[in-house]
Structure 1
Amino acid sequence: MYARKVQLVLLSLSCLQSLPLQADNIRVVTEYRSYYQLKNSDDSLGGYATEVVQALFAITGDTAQFEVNSWARSYYEAVNNDNVLIYSMAYNPERAALFDCVAELDNEKLFFWALKGRISQPLLTLNDLLPYHIAVSISSNPDQYLTAQGMKRLLRTATPEHALSMLFKQRVDLVIGAEKSVYRRSQQLGYDAGQLEKVFQIAGLNHPLCAAFNLRSDPALRQRYHRAFATLQQNGTLAQIKQRWQLDE
């Protein structure tokens, strides 16, 4: 009987140690992004990445205060305010110097897209893109990368939907996006995705999509979310969410 009581006490202490000592209200900033952050029919926020973030909060016990903005606005808020979680952010080298990726949500492959028949010459190098106008979302991973590479003919838009509309209206030559996102976005906007073709890919644009805090954020808070994500990986929850959204492991 005594041994049983000791066992129960130790188990209780173990459970208490796994819980945060104090639950926090955490600002969570993001954008609407096809497949990852979607507006549900009841105006709530859904999507694959949102489900993963919600699962993280279920483990930490914190309360998420979601804010959906343009990407430029969300990025500004996350850079300039501590203890603010941002997702789904491409974790490129520039951002790695500013942020701690606490949860790797996906690995996204980005392609350059054109309307069929509009690009007659093969695109083999970055220099081959110089004659073309490319629409990118402000402060997005492609915007930062192509700007750093000295590309001049970038047309910056508030949303990827606006960029895609410009392509279909033949106001730009190229847009950049992942296959699933581009197809879904085209359908939502009422365009025929069959008119699109992949014309180029740059490996330097492919980075993990992360949920992240800036590096000035509370180290204990950041570590709490690292542990929570490890739990999602180990208990199979992450795999289940990926399977539900038909994402490859």
Structure 2
Amino acid sequence: MFKLMSQLSLTGLLLLPAMLLQANPIRVVTEYRGFYQLQNNDGSLGGYATEVVQALFAITGDTPLFEINSWGRSFHEASSNNNVLIYSLSLNPERAELFDCVAELNKEQLFFWALKGNIKQPLNVLDDLRHYRIAVSIASNPDQYLTGQGFTRLFRTSTPEYALSMLYKNRVDMIISVEKPINNQVEQLGYDVSQLSKVFQLEELNHPLCIAFNRNSDAALRERYRQAFASLQQNGTLAQIRKRWQLDHH
């Protein structure tokens, strides 16, 4: 009997590390951004992307430790520290070398926006935009791309809301955003949505919006979240969340 109990105890001890690996606190870094990451009335973090992240954690059993930073800070934390989850990350080719996308939240269509009547000349190619003042979030996908293209009149802001304020105060000529988040942000800031106009779209800026870990993160951890996302897709949970946020299925 004692031998059997010893064997059972040993088996339990052997299983314990595996169980602990399946239930870890995970740092989660993000920013407030349109309808993806919203501050709820009670101060908690909500939004479409946040709901997907929370659904993933419900499956993995891990505990999310949310941190709301500027995008530049969140990007630095996730790229510099292993096993830190970041969302919502636009996965451009440069970032794909650093990050593993474990869940695709959306396919973004980014537009350049201006106030109606402020852009007099037709904008046909990217070079037509070089002499305009463009506000971009620090370390954002548009910031990285336009910097790489040699744009020099970029005004880097810590938040999308600050960029919007600069646009409405005529301190910049253009900002870059997805349509749904920008409408939400304009209304929250009390500006007139009808003054906004899409003036240009650049396909090179359209990338999958992801939940990701850096590529040096634990491979088993990354795979666990990839499988959790596959479960959300298969059991209909993702479709329900997308419908609630009025997003088309993909």
TM norm structure 2: 0.91
CA RMSD for the aligned pairs? 0.9
- Code of the residue aligned with 2:174 in structure 1: it is L
Deviation string 1:91-137 (CA, Å, 9 cap, x unpaired) is 10010000000000011111000000000111010100011000001
- 1:247 is paired with a residue whose SS is coil
* 20 and 203 in structure 1: CA distance in 2 versus 1, 3 angstrom threshold: farther
| Contact in 2 for aligned 1:30/1:88 (Cα 8 Å) | yes
Give yes or no for the alignment of 1:183 onto 2:178: no
Deviation string 1:139-176 (CA, Å, 9 cap, x unpaired) is 01110010011111000011010001000000000000
Cross-structure match for 1:90: 90
| Contact in 2 for aligned 1:20/1:60 (Cα 8 Å) | no
Deviation at 1:56, TM superposition (A): 0.3
Give yes or no for the alignment of 1:165 onto 2:165: yes
Deviation at 1:231, TM superposition (A): 0.4
- 2:123 is paired with a residue whose SS is coil
- 2:198 is paired with a residue whose SS is strand
- Code of the residue aligned with 1:91 in structure 2: it is L
- Code of the residue aligned with 1:166 in structure 2: it is M
Deviation at 1:20, TM superposition (A): 7.8
Deviation string 1:25-44 (CA, Å, 9 cap, x unpaired) is 00000000010000001100
Runs of 4+ more than 4 Å apart:
none
Cross-structure match for 2:7: none
Cross-structure match for 1:240: 240
Residues of 2 paired with 1:22 and 1:222: CA distance? 12
Alignment of 1:9-28 (within 5 A): 22-28=22-28
Alignment of 1:148-227 (within 5 A): 148-227=148-227
| Contact in 2 for aligned 1:20/1:61 (Cα 8 Å) | no
- 2:143 is paired with a residue whose SS is helix
- Code of the residue aligned with 2:203 in structure 1: it is A
- Code of the residue aligned with 2:38 in structure 1: it is L
Deviation string 1:162-201 (CA, Å, 9 cap, x unpaired) is 0010000000000000111111111011100100100000
Residues of 2 paired with 1:97 and 1:21: CA distance? 26
Cross-structure match for 2:103: 103
- Code of the residue aligned with 1:176 in structure 2: it is I
- Code of the residue aligned with 1:165 in structure 2: it is S
TM norm structure 1: 0.91
Unaligned runs of 5+ in 1: 1-18
Unaligned runs of 5+ in 2: 1-18
Cross-structure match for 1:38: 38
